[in-house]
Amino acid sequence: MKWTLSSGILDFGTRAQIMGILNVTPDSFYDRYGSVNAAVARGLEMVQEGADILDVGGESSRPPMYGEAVEVSCEEECLRVLPVIEKLREQTAVPISIDTVKAEVARRALEAGADIINDISAMADDGMAEVAAKSEAPLILMHRRGTPATMQDNTDYVDLIGEVCSFLEERIERARQAGVAQWGVDPGLGFSKTIEGNFLLLKHMQRFANLDCPLLVGASRKSFIWKTLGETAEEALEGSLALAVLSRAAGAHILRVHDVQASCRALRVADAVLQAEVES
């Protein structure tokens, strides 16, 4: 399983791909960078730590428990992310993804040097599929209900696993019909899910790995981890690493993380176990 990117080939066949989170926002729930230079410096540091992809986002999707995320205009989002993408592309060949729900932001980010679209709304903007189709950029489709402001009011399911799978399958088909050539899926941990629902998704992550496309899992430092530990987001590293390893064992191809170096080390050992064979 591979993606063909403008910057090269991303091969999911041998090991987990680490996606480093780079929030160019004033209000993300964890690790945010308010200046271009600070964001670029952190991005390059993540590359040194082993990141395979840098995920640049300019609009927070934090849930209301952190205070309502402020919706930003297309122009404001572009002002935040485009200079960072341009400077990173000048200094590294590592693939860059744009974390946005706006088709116009995605289009301009791809022109600035991004390779991948990470759309947590799964094409709520009708123009997103066209941008992905025309650019041939991979499009990551995530499950959620509503918006960041309303998503935690929509956590009741009759069949959580089946409903999330059906949603992702429907969005894959919609993307395919629109001419999108490459895609991935994300079951949306922390989005429109209860604490118990998040753990149920993780327990059955293999279902999503069987959708015949790259599977992204983003659990890093989310509240269902630190609430379970009785800690804070700052104290949720060990829980985040545990879920990254379990997700990889269940078939995840991309792990979206804040703590790149620690995650790379944990997943390198996990991959060694998964690839071990009986000696003849």
- Active-site positions read 222, 256
CA-derived radius of gyration, the chain: 17
Structure tokens of 245?
């390893």
Listed residue (223, 208, 221, 222) closest to 254, CA to CA: 208
Q: Are 174 and 136 in contact (CB under 8 A)?
A: no
Could you give the residue ranges of the DSSP H alpha helices within the chain?
A: 36-49, 74-91, 103-112, 128-135, 160-177, 195-203, 206-209, 223-229, 237-249, 260-274
Identify whether the C-beta of residue 3 lies closer than 8 Å to the C-beta of residue 9: yes
Contact 83, 113 (CB under 8 A): no
What SS3 state is found at 24?
A: coil
Provide the CA 140 distance to its chain's centre, in angstroms.
8
